[in-house]
Amino acid sequence: MPPVGDAVAAAKLWLIADAGARLPYLARGLYALVTVETHEVARLASDEHWRLYVNPDWVASTTVEDLARALSHELWHLLLDHAGRARSLGVDRATAGAWHEATDLAICDTLAPEGVVPADLVSAATELRAEHRGTLPPGRPAEEYWATLARLPAGDTSEPGEDAEDDGPAHHGSSVDGRPRPWELPPEADVGAVDEGHAGGIREVVAIEYRGRKGGRGDTPGEAARWVRRMTEPTLPWEQLLAQSVRRGVGWTSGRTHTTWTRPNRRASSTPGMFLPGWRRPNPTVAMVVDTSGSVDDALLARAMGEVEGALRALGVAGSSVTVLACDAAVQAVTRVRRARDAVLHGGGGTDLRVALAVVEDLRPRPTLAVVLTDGWTPWPATPPTGCAVVIALLTRRGEETPELPDWATTIRCQLDD
Ligand SMILES: [Zn+2]
């Protein structure tokens, strides 16, 4: 029989290289795995520290191809962070069986187009989907499958004795659900391990390479596509963040007014009525302050203004309750313009937004939200206008230095995509 290490190495090559499945994007993940030989597992299992537990007897009796398929199954549990996700869902001993079925369904959908889905995974998925006709459509997140499966009475969700920890060799480790098995090595065992930070880096590399390979082919399965997006675009697009903070600023997110949009500063506390519970401002008024200095990118400014106006429209904030101020500090003047896009026509010179925010302070009715569109290179006042939430749409270029910004405002960095 070949030593386990050689067999596992051959299986990795089969997955990556020309002779086999040609999935080179898996390389970083496969070579991070630490192989541990043990009879405690029936075939192959992994823990959440990226140790791959391999039964040498099974390896001796199986083919490189089947070992490789089982290996990719284990690797995807780790790549998709099923352990961490199980913890945040609160998967416990009672629902772990359903969670494993749910994650295997998602992995099955991911592996199928690659031609490396293990036979046992296919038959289990087919059986499960037939049994729950229509309620487990392909390409959905494991969380969704789990919600369906975990609701079923116990006993329906797993084969009797399946994966039972105290009953014969195990089929799965903590990589699936974050629950350590008695046969797993402790995290600090000197065989080696991948810690959370390193795992994040591996996932990112694999996701980027996976996306590169899948690019344009349109067959990226749902769960994997969502994972790639999560890994490669870890932050929401600025347009979405800007719209979100405008909604929050207006205070209408949940259909009721809340009092958190404004920092209770010294001046606000002298008007205590403002924070009485149940108090409601029927018509939010909004000020848009547009920095028209030459350093602001016109295209970006136009897009950011469009996003803000769109968010306000969606909230039903009438144009008449939006005041647009074009701030041109060269002449120390703040011009009230009819529409945001007219502000672009002014311009020139440096900026002093202290002047503009002083004008906001004096507006009647007093704005509940001020959205400031600027490159940030301006002096700021020490406090925001009274009773007014401030959102800064910071118009920047990639790699540009960030100016000092006031901590009483919510800042959204807006950039043009190259
Ligand atoms: Zn599995």
The domain boundary residue, chosen from 215, 232, 249: 232
* Residues 260, 252, 363, 406, CA torsion sign: positive
Query: Could you tell me the distance, in angstroms and rounded to a whole number, from the CA of residue 84 to the centre of ligand 1?
Result: 15
CA 123 to ligand 1 center in whole angstroms: 13
**pLDDT score for 47:** 96
> Range of 71's domain?
4-232
Q: Which pLDDT belongs to residue 379?
A: 87
Distance from Cα 45 to the centre of ligand 1, integer Å: 9
Domain identity same for 137 and 101: yes
Q: 204, 232, 260: which is the final residue of a domain?
A: 232
C-alpha of residue 390 to centroid of ligand 1, in Å: 48
Domain check: are 32 and 124 in the same one?
yes
Structural domains of the chain, count: 2
Residue 82 Cα, ligand 1 centroid: separation in angstroms?
Answer: 10
CA of 140 to the centre of ligand 1 (A): 16
How far, in Å, is the centroid of ligand 1 from the Cα of 379? 57
| Confidence (pLDDT) at 217 | 52
Q: Does the global pTM surpass 0.85?
A: no
- DSSP characters over 254-316: TSS--STTS---HHHHTSGGGG-TT---SS--EEEEEE--TTS-HHHHHHHHHHHHHHHHHTT
Q: Quick one: pLDDT at residue 69?
A: 94
Residue 215 sits in the same domain as residue 249: no
Q: What is the CA(191)–ligand 1 centre distance, in A?
A: 23
- Output the pLDDT for position 111: 87
Residue that terminates a domain, selected from 232, 257, 281: 232
The parts of the chain modelled with pLDDT lower than 50 are 155-165, 216, 252-270, 272-281, 330-331, 345, 347
| CA 17 – ligand 1 centroid, Å | 24
pLDDT at 343: 57
Distance 57 CA to ligand 1 centre (A): 20
Distance of CA 149 to the CA centre of its chain: 24
CA 122 to ligand 1 centroid distance, Å: 11
Q: What is the CATH number of the domain that holds 401?
A: 3.40.50
